[in-house]
Structure 1
């Protein structure tokens, strides 16, 4: 029996609830069709709401606590196998086309071919001058909160990169290949910069509704989450959100092109295959006045996960919680092989074939954030010189900002993310989310008085914290969150990891980093402010 060809289309930062296939405003006809032709997981979660930790966790099938990676500086050790290594051992050609965010000299980690490199820096030291030259003013949009400064309709490096990735994918699928294929097509959208095609942007800007949580920020937010709240005008949120919805639509169009080419490849070669779509995490997009990821709310932690193809049930929606870490075990079982040992994820083949077998499953998501306890605006004045120094080291800028008070917002963010912990009292906080059945529990260690419990069956927007009304459920979820998990050890390991990374950065500056595989072909037209705001 021949092994099925596997294609994984992976986006970055896609919140499924904003998409039409889940009743949202962003028009996603190709994702709708994929759901009709396959099985969708309505309660799929990332293992960490941040790009690199989530992707490494997905590839290794292990929680960030076990990979040791909680930041975007993380890398997979050379001797750690990913599910791609298992597929290679089973006779597969493993091909990466586009984004995966590998950092360091190894840009493969189990892939036998790579056709388009990452647009993100592939070295630990960011090549700031190169990035600014290649991306122009749009470089400011590649991180939050800078991303709010360049929101609108126009061209951007993200869309240019994704065009290149899709072109390469279509060309590869236009060729014939002897071995069974596992192809991962990684696009950047809908990750900010919040710049979408003009038509898509205007469509959503004209129809945009201000979310209730933007106007009425919930009182249940703890100090860690309050540090993420950005007090910006509604117009700023509308621009960012409209562009984000437009980027989801752009991603959907690219998914449709790749899926059509994959189906043609299968038909031309008389083969069978499985197509999977997922993302690494979502985007708050202004919900609760927070933008970007790094929260455990549905907008950041829940991900799209849709599978269609050989032997997969059509039109089936699974509500049991599943994890991004399930991808590897699932693909390996479909390929007739085993993933690397000691997996936190599990195969979803039973669900995909109509035999759901673990309805009581609990899935975890975890993160590490920083907070400045007792922050006051006087600290911005006290550390003004330090903030200026840190700003000069970053590849972003705040030039020509029209957002009221944006410089103050930015200064606080820079101090929190780059300041000396001992000097300013910066606190590292580890958090965990548990999703089981209809309930979701969120806890930040050291801030347990703010523990959250939501009943997602009746409160999908997470408006009402019911922890006080259900202490028995909170206790059950807390026990799940704490099982075989020591928060103090996690924080210490993370701090040790950051110390190691600092040493590696110093070495790399002396030895010279190799960023020759990084995508750097952004055209002039995608280096300017959006045409329409």
Structure 2
């Protein structure tokens, strides 16, 4: 083939890059057409009522978003065309067909790699189901990479033979220099930041839905969360820690304000901002003391922190209707080409958003977040909070976690993603309990690995030893172990007051380790105690007029006055009468229970709000007994006790329970300020003695009501 003049070479390259970009855009158009035809985007739904507000919120965002997605396809096509051209010319055949063949092979290698790393990217494509199942069972990340290295080596050898010995040696030297530079950069990354000034650093890490019984010391195997176990070697574990509400958004509001849910105004997910009681948070106290305050999470559908959180920097996906739309935009090539730092900067709504199963690169996200943590900590006193959400829907474990605990005999769709099955007696076609718990363990292991990346980054930068690190979960998870008829149902949290749902992980590693402090503390503590503890350990003024207390004395091994927990149920898709026959059902669960604000934020409507409050169970727990108020369908409220319900301690807990809810004394009642007067029986509003029916074990008549399990 005759040599082209420089102008001809440039023209040839331009044509090929343009052709590659055009093919990328053609692929984008094809995927868009499939999305629209399938109806999953929602373009074919009747835009009336609440759907009209939904579409009005997302339509202004869609054009710009799709343009950025299209740009990814065009850039990826151009880059593949460039690489394919170089490979084709290694053989002296730079024709269009040879280049196209090389490009398709490169694309296949990338897809092969991603199918092993994140199989949820392709798990809903029936044509690939058999191949994907084989990869899930047998594929390893090194397989496509080894093939790619071998393929490139063959092309390099062909190029050397064609180019002559002198040019070949120069090419080999250039390749060796490039490889050496890459090694230096990788090695240098591990020691970046050492030797810098050690500003005060507080790290709060929440692992969503982590049940402490997964820890070896609490009855687990020790194989689920090795990074948490390693931190516990230098910290203190609170073995009896509880959340006042087993749902993320209200639990975090109680965490931040050190107040019970009925005082924060946030009592379920997607609470209207107007119902939130604006109160000082511990993050705000850190910020006013001159600290950098950062909150990060990769999931914001049911938990987004706004300015009221007190964090000055908030790294999270978009909140509201747009995020629910994004979940449906399965642009798979974005997951193939843009799962990197550049892609995260260009399309953070996709790459740093766990709602997009398979597209979101969980481990790459954690690497970038770890670098951000080290960078923030190097610039001044820093409070850095991270909420790891792997164990929540869509629950798609990545390599190597998806083959650790779930049996290979489980259907592929239940190995790779959470599968919804209604929580109703005799639920068919859903989970079996061992499979559900095994997938949960894989997701917790993935979250643990993400946490480990942050902790390892602190170790490499020399900041781990002097950092105050608090590790917690916002709630647990129930697999309905006490109900065989629900063995096929989806796990749930927030539906009952129970050990499985309300007991949480809580551990503290003080600066320079626990020293002579206890390795574990068995006293009952609460999520609302976190903020006061962090402030005292950091030498900052405490929050005033709050329900939480500092746990610093327990960390020092000092004497301790016993605490009690106030708790209430949240709002889930589960009807409460499933667990408690005769319970008041009340709250609406259809889409029209929500409203969409003009800015796209989805929040609970007023009628649903009133129903949710009336539906709630509320209770008090002291480690030995539960007192629980349950609203009944006949208008009465059943107050039941479980555990050790006799003696002065039971009476004292009941009196404390009344005081927390605003009751002044037996027979004298008042309404708690700040509650919706339009709700005839809101939780936290006092019932008359005639409405409140007290039952203790053995006094029950009629159907038995499942009791919370305490202590």
TM-score between both structures, scaled by the size of structure 1:
0.65
Deviations 1:277-312 (CA, angstroms, capped at 9, x unpaired): 101111103433372111211111011001113263
1:308 — aligned with what?
509
Q: 1:343 to 1:166 in 2, by over 3 A?
A: same
Distance 2:280 2:594 in 1: 38
Query: Corresponding residue for 2:471?
Result: 277
Preserved contact between residue 95 and residue 184 of structure 1 (Cα < 8 Å): yes
The answer to whether the 8 Å contact 1:70/1:494 transfers is no
- Secondary structure (helix, strand or coil) at the match of 2:545 reads coil
Higher relative contact order (CA 8 A, sep 6+): 1
After superposition, residues 114-125 of structure 1 pair within 5 angstroms as 114=314, 116-118=315-317, 122-123=319-320, 125=321
Of 486-495 and 174-183, the range deviating more from structure 2: 486-495
Number of equivalences = 409
Give me the whole-angstrom Cα distance separating, in 2, the residues matched to 1:393 and 1:297. Answer: 31
The answer for the alignment partner of 1:231 in structure 2 is 426
Instruction: Give, in angstroms, the shift of residue 31 of structure 1.
Output: 1.4
1:66 maps onto 2:252 in alignment:
no
Task: Within 5 Å, give how 1:62-461 maps onto structure 2.
Answer: 62-74=259-271, 75=273, 80-98=279-297, 101=300, 106=306, 109-114=309-314, 116-118=315-317, 122-123=319-320, 125=321, 128-133=324-329, 157=357, 160=360, 162-175=362-375, 177-197=378-398, 200-206=401-407, 229-232=424-427, 235-267=431-463, 272-288=466-482, 289=486, 291-294=491-494, 295-310=496-511, 312-313=514-515, 316-358=519-561, 360-368=562-570, 428-446=614-632, 449=638, 451-454=640-643
Using a 3 Å threshold, how does the CA distance of structure 1 residues 496 and 172 change in structure 2: closer, same or farther?
Answer: farther
Structure 2: tracts of 5 or more residues without a match: 1-196, 333-354, 410-421, 579-587, 597-603, 664-669, 680-711
Q: Alpha-carbon deviation of 1:231?
A: 2.7
Whether the 8 Å CA contact 1:6–1:181 is kept in 2: the answer is yes
Q: CA deviation at 1:315?
A: 5.7
> Retained in 2: the 8 A contact 1:162–1:188?
no
- CA gap of 1:201–1:242, structure 2 versus 1, over 3 A, is farther
Larger of the two Rg values belongs to structure: 2
Summarize the Cα distance change of 1:284–1:491 in structure 2 as closer, same or farther, 3 Å threshold.
Answer: farther
CA-based RMSD of the aligned residues comes to 4.3
Structure 1 residue 54: Cα displacement: 0.6
Q: 1:77 to 1:164 in 2, by over 3 A?
A: farther
Deviations 1:397-448 (A, max 9, x none): xxxxxxxxxxxxxxxxxxxx999779xx999223233232444444424476
Return the offset for 1:337.
Answer: 0.9
Distance 1:135 1:67 in 2: 39
Distance 1:392 1:309 in 2: 43
Larger relative strand fraction: 1
CA contact (8 A) 1:49 1:293 kept: yes
Distance across 2 between alignment mates of 1:8 and 1:111: 12
Matched residues in 1 for 2:279 and 2:228: separation? Answer: 33
C-alpha contact (below 8 Å) 2:625/2:650 kept by paired residues: no
Asked whether the equivalents of residues 55 and 280 of structure 1 are also in contact (C-alpha less than 8 Å), the reply is yes
Deviation for aligned residue 1:480: 2.0
Structure 1 residues 495 and 307, CA gap change in structure 2 (3 angstroms): farther
Report the TM-score, using the length of structure 2 for normalisation: 0.50
Deviation by residue 1:124-181 (Cα, 9 ceiling, x = unmatched) = x565433322599xxxxxxxxxxxxxxxxxx973893643541232212443623111
SS in 1 for 2:360: helix
Match of 2:241 in 1: 44
> Could you list the per-position Cα deviations for residues 208-232 of structure 1 after superposition, in whole angstroms to 9, with x for gaps in the alignment?
9xxxxxxxxxxxxxxxxxx955533
2:379 & 2:589 partners in 1: Cα distance? 56
18-27 vs 178-187, which deviates more? Answer: 18-27
- CA offset at residue 15 of structure 1? 1.4
Q: 1:38 touches 1:316 (CA, 8 Å); kept in 2? A: yes
Contact 2:236 2:519 in 1 (8 A): yes
Range with bigger deviation, 482-491 or 21-30: 482-491
Residue pair 1:189, 1:251 contacting (<8 A) in 2 also: yes
Aligned-partner Cα distance in 2 for 1:184–1:245: 23
Q: Distance in 2 between matches of 1:321 and 1:83?
A: 22
Change over 3 Å in CA distance of 1:169–1:108 after alignment to 2: farther
Instruction: Give yes or no for contact 1:21–1:31 (8 Å, CA) kept in 2.
Output: no
5+ long unaligned stretches in structure 1 = 137-154, 209-226, 376-385, 395-416, 455-465, 498-533
Q: CA offset at residue 393 of structure 1? A: 10
Deviation (angstroms), 1:187 = 1.3
Deviates more, 1:241-250 or 1:104-113: 104-113
Q: Is the 8 A contact 1:170 1:261 kept in 2?
A: yes
Q: Which residue of 2 aligns with 1:4?
A: 200
Distance of aligned partners of 1:109 and 1:352 in 2 relative to their CA distance in 1, 3 Å threshold: same
Could you tell me how far apart the structure 2 residues matched to 1:325 and 1:242 are?
30
Measured in 1, the distance between the counterparts of 2:553 and 2:577 equals 50
- Is 1:493 aligned to 2:675, yes or no? yes
Deviation at 1:336, TM superposition (A): 0.9
- Alpha-carbon displacement from aligned partner over 1:174-207 (angstroms, at most 9, x marks no partner): 4362311111122112223343346544443349
Name the CA shift for 1:280/1:267 in 2 (closer, same or farther; >3 Å): closer
Q: Indicate if the aligned counterparts of 2:210 and 2:476 stay in contact, CA closer than 8 A.
A: yes
